[in-house]
Amino acid sequence: MIHQYDLVIVGAGLAGLRAAVETSNHAKVAVISKVFPTRSHSGAAQGGIAAALGNEEPDCIEWHIFDTVKGSDYLGDQDAIEMMIKEAPEVIYELEHMGVPFSRTKEGKIAQRQFGGHTKEVVDEKGNKKRVPVLRACYSADRTGHVILHTLYEQCVKNNVKFFSEFFITSLILENNICRGVIAINLKDTSIHIFHAKAVLFATGGYGRAYRVTSNAYANSGDGVAIAFRAGIPLEDMEFVQFHPTGLYPLGILVTEGARGEGGYLLNNNRERFMKNYAPTVMELAPRDMVTRSIQTEINEGRGINGKDYVHLDLTHLGREKLKERLPEITGFAKTYAGIDPAVEPIPILPTAHYSMGGIPTDLYGNVLANEKGKIIQGFFAAGECACISVHGANRLGTNSLLDAVVHGRRAGKTILKFLAEADFSPLPTDSGESDKEYINHLFSGTGTENADVIRKILKSEMTNKCGVFRNETDLKAALETVRTLKERFKNVNLSFKGKVFNTELMEIIETGNLLEFSEVIILGALERKECRGAHWRTDYEKRDDVNWLKHTFAFKTDKGIKLKYKPVTILNYQPQERKY
Ligand SMILES: Cc1cc2nc3c(=O)[nH]c(=O)nc-3n(C[C@H](O)[C@H](O)[C@H](O)COP(=O)(O)OP(=O)(O)OC[C@H]3O[C@@H](n4cnc5c(N)ncnc54)[C@H](O)[C@@H]3O)c2cc1C
């Protein structure tokens, strides 16, 4: 079946829906999502969305820009960061006017809380300038993503956006550098649908599901990233995967950084607030990469609780009332998944794969790049976690990614409207969808012997153990070898359930193929990057190396395997300095 739309948006998280709101009054827009829109991972975001509103104490755009640049370990492009941070207050007020129920101050303004790496400048008693945590994250209790996602969904329904829910896209139609649409499977009956479009926006979210311990939803299998890569589009900075310090032990379900923003402590087996040894000024509110490494070091050196692989997040001193008002969701999670009441007991936590800094490269306006020199693909756009602009560089600050998704969803929407004013439908290639059909028929009729579930489990363990918080050459080489072997085994994968209605095994097989596709890129990027920067920490190098590595990785899929090239970082006002907190 062929559908025709001016714009096809793949992904119904904050980035996709914000773009849909921007465009749907002016163009025929479809949104495709493999899960029901309000089940997109954006809805799980807890802690907040950053903007220097200064509602609770003085704050300014400049400080937010500097914090983001420093947080990125100087790998973020400063032109992109500046644009995003300057737009932040405007997009927050827009969300408020659309109906987002933000938590409030006593005066009725949007309330703000502290988050790691977000600081203000103060002068201490000796007259020295220093930076201390600032109230910058706008929030709605610990359900911030949920309320924004639902509000944007309501706006889309109001604007008559056409939703294709539980449609799973498998490939991009791209010919002669012009994007012409996407191919999708309708999960209800496994039929193949061709979406012919003047413009396609990928807002397919992150790739945290490549890891065994992760805070990410099942849907975050990086499909968009893998599909773009297979279509010949490079991937940028894939080696930068953020590990959140506080995943609930043992699964890694997220306990928001807002818990530390509200005053939570991290304690080791000696009941010591060990962050004083790693980041004495900001303690638990250091950026994520640092807190994660500190926790992992405590665990590795035997100071985990009772020698196990976790430490404690202690919220007991906050009191039951504050937990109920500010952190109701995570209080519930701790009870449901760990049988713990955070008002009386500390929560067992460990680092968990959380956010994908890398992804599909775009320019500042959402156009997807065909190479490291800035050539763009006609009619193809990306925004949100699947895109790399790069505003987060080597390490994202908490609450900057909901901001990224909303700002860049909106901006891509504006770019697309300009593009549509001039664009027409480019003809579909005659064989559109044929290879997708063939592959599915092959799976249904085939007699493969490999089990995708087994392959996926090996991959996830390998990524967590050998390409995780701490990395080294020996481990990375071994992981690369494993992934390459798994890719070979995957060619012989077996579909055991042959039903056509909601065949989730089929979907999981395709997702596994996607995980394998980009995991190789993550490992290769990590192996080649011989330095420590942000979330990429090599125990065999131990230092950032600006002379050789102040550059973005671009990975290309070629007939001879993956080729890496590099692109300079855009530096404006802030020259790289040593990163201390
Ligand atoms: C537990 C958790 C808490 C977080 N808390 C915060 C926070 O407090 N503050 C903050 O700033 N950030 C937070 N983040 C990060 C932030 O939520 C995400 O980066 C952001 O929401 C991503 O939005 P997105 O629109 O790019 O993608 P998502 O919301 O992940 O949406 C992806 C969409 O793509 C669709 N899709 C994917 N593949 C396919 C396919 N093959 N076919 C069809 N559709 C497809 C999915 O169905 C989904 O609709 C958190 C993340 C997690 C995991």
Q: Which of 91, 329, 401 for a ligand 1 pocket mutation test, highest count of atoms within 8 Å of Cβ? A: 401
Q: Is 123 exposed, middle or buried (0-12, 13-18, 19+ CB in 10 A)?
A: exposed
Nearest Cα to 206, choosing from 367, 30, 352, 388? Answer: 388
Supply the pLDDT for residue 254: 92
Contacts (Cβ under 8 Å, ≥6 apart) of 141: 103, 325, 326, 327, 328, 329
Q: Which residues contact 129 (CB under 8 A, 6 or more apart)?
A: 121, 122, 123
CA distances from 40 to 44, 210, 482 (A): 8, 17, 31
Ligand 1 atom showing the smallest separation from residue 205 Cα: 27
Q: Return the bridge partners of 30, or none.
A: 8, 162
User: Averaged over 211-216, what is the pLDDT?
Assistant: 95
Q: Each residue of 50-72: pLDDT tens digit?
A: 999 999 999 999 999 999 999 99
Mean pLDDT of 499-521: 97
Residue 78 belongs to what H/E stretch? helix 78-98
Grade residue 295 by pLDDT with cuts at 50, 70 and 90.
Answer: very high
Per-residue model confidence (pLDDT) at position 500: 96
User: Helices 452-466 and 473-490, interaxial angle, to 10°?
Assistant: 170
Report the separation in Å between the CA atom of 124 and the middle of ligand 1, taken as the mean of its atom positions. 40
Per-residue pLDDT tens digits for 316-339:
999 999 999 889 988 998 999 999
Predicted local distance difference test score (pLDDT) of residue 581: 82
Q: Look up residue 42 and give its amino acid.
A: S
Distance 239 CA to ligand 1 centre (A): 19
Query: What's the CA-to-centroid distance between 5 and ligand 1, angstroms?
Result: 24
Selecting among 18, 39, 212, 288, the annotated active-site residue is 288
Percent of the chain clearing pLDDT 90 (strictly above):
93
* Ligand 1 nearest atom to the CA of residue 14, by list position: 25
Which residue pairs, CB below 8 angstroms and at least 24 apart, start in 481-485? Answer: 482/458, 483/459, 483/516, 483/519, 483/520, 483/523, 484/520
With helix as H, strand as E and coil as C, how does 310-366 read? CEEEECHHHCHHHHHHHCHHHHHHHHHHHCCCCCCCCEEEEEEEEEECCEEEECCCC
* Pocket (CB within 6 angstroms of ligand 1): 10-16, 32-35, 40-42, 44-49, 144-145, 168-169, 203-206, 215-216, 219-220, 223-224, 254, 256, 355, 384-386, 399-402, 405
Neighbours of 550 (CB within 10 A): 18
Is the model's pLDDT at 88 over the cut of 90?
A: yes
CA–centroid distance, 560 to ligand 1, in Å, is 33
In the annotation, is 288 catalytic? Answer: yes
Mean pLDDT of 443-467: 95
pLDDT tens digits, residue range 238-287? 999 999 999 999 989 999 888 998 899 999 999 999 999 999 988 998 88
Alpha-carbon distance of 460 to 108, in angstroms, equals: 46
What's the pLDDT band for 580 if we cut at 50, 70, 90?
Answer: confident
Nearest-atom number in ligand 1 for the CA of 510 is 41
Element containing residue 216 per DSSP (H, E): none
Contact 346, 316 (CB under 8 A): yes
**pLDDT surpasses 90 at 571:** yes
Average pLDDT, the chain: 96
Over residues 477-504, the pLDDT tens digits come to 999 999 999 999 999 999 999 999 999 9
Q: Quick one: pLDDT at residue 421?
A: 97
Show the DSSP H helices in 424-472 as ranges: 434-445, 452-466
Strand 2-10 to 191-202 pairing: parallel
Distance from the alpha carbon of residue 371 to the mean position of ligand 1, in angstroms: 25
Of 130 and 189, more confident: 189
467: Cβ contacts below 8 Å, ≥ 6 apart: 241, 475, 476, 479, 519, 522, 523, 526
* CA gap 378, 554 in Å, rounded: 19
Sign for the CA dihedral angle at 528, 534, 537, 540 comes to: positive
pLDDT, mean of residues 570-576:
97
Could you give the CA distance from residue 292 to residue 116 in angstroms, rounded to a whole number? 12
